[in-house]
């Protein structure tokens, strides 16, 4: 059973556009939601993370929107650049220090 469901599987965005990736979860006990970026042949790198007590967190061009009642959260990449082309994973954990449950990933391609 997939604990975290992620969509879309792939996404193509024009340079300068907004990339939006969505995730949904079932376990209301999750209290930490990170997003990771992974380039081919590399390990996942933390982008941004949020806890359920806030509805939005912004760091540079990256924003997480969190909807606790809908059990959904999303990553918005503003002013998308070709260098953002990578696979993005959402994840959730019961608390920091616990295992992460990852989504299946979204392959983002930003075309010039």
Partner 1 sequence: GAGVSQSPRYKVAKRGQDVALRCDPISGHVSLFWYQQALGQGPEFLTYFQNEAQLDKSGLPSDRFFAERPEGSVSTLKIQRTQQEDSAVYLCASSLETQYFGPGTRLLVL
Among positions 46, 54, 78, 111, the unique one binding partner 1 when judged by CB under 8 A: 46
| By the rule CB under 8 A, 45 interacts with partner 1 | yes
Among 38, 50, 30, smallest CA distance to 92 is for 30
Are the beta carbons of 47 and 39 closer than 8 angstroms?
no
List the helix and strand counts (H, then E) for the chain.
0, 11
30 binds partner 1 per the rule CB under 8 A:
no
Quote the least distance from Cβ 30 to partner 1, whole Å.
14
With CB under 8 A as the contact rule, the residue among 56, 78, 96, 111 that binds partner 1 is: 96
Contact between 42 and partner 1 by CB under 8 A: the answer reads yes
Q: Using an 8 Å Cβ cutoff, are 52 and 66 in contact? A: yes
């Amino acid at each position: 059973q997939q604990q975290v469901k992620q969509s879309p599987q792939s996404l193509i965005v024009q340079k300068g556009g907004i990339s939006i990736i969505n995730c949904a979860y079932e376990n209301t006990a999750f209290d930490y939601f990170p997003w990771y970026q992974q380039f081919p042949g590399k390990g996942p790198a933390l982008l941004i993370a949020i806890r359920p007590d806030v509805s939005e967190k912004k760091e540079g061009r990256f924003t997480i929107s969190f909807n606790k009642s809908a059990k959904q959260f999303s990553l918005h990449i503003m002013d998308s650049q070709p260098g953002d082309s990578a696979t993005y994973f959402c994840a959730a954990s019961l608390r920091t220090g616990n295992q992460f449950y990852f989504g299946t990933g979204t392959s983002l391609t930003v075309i010039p």
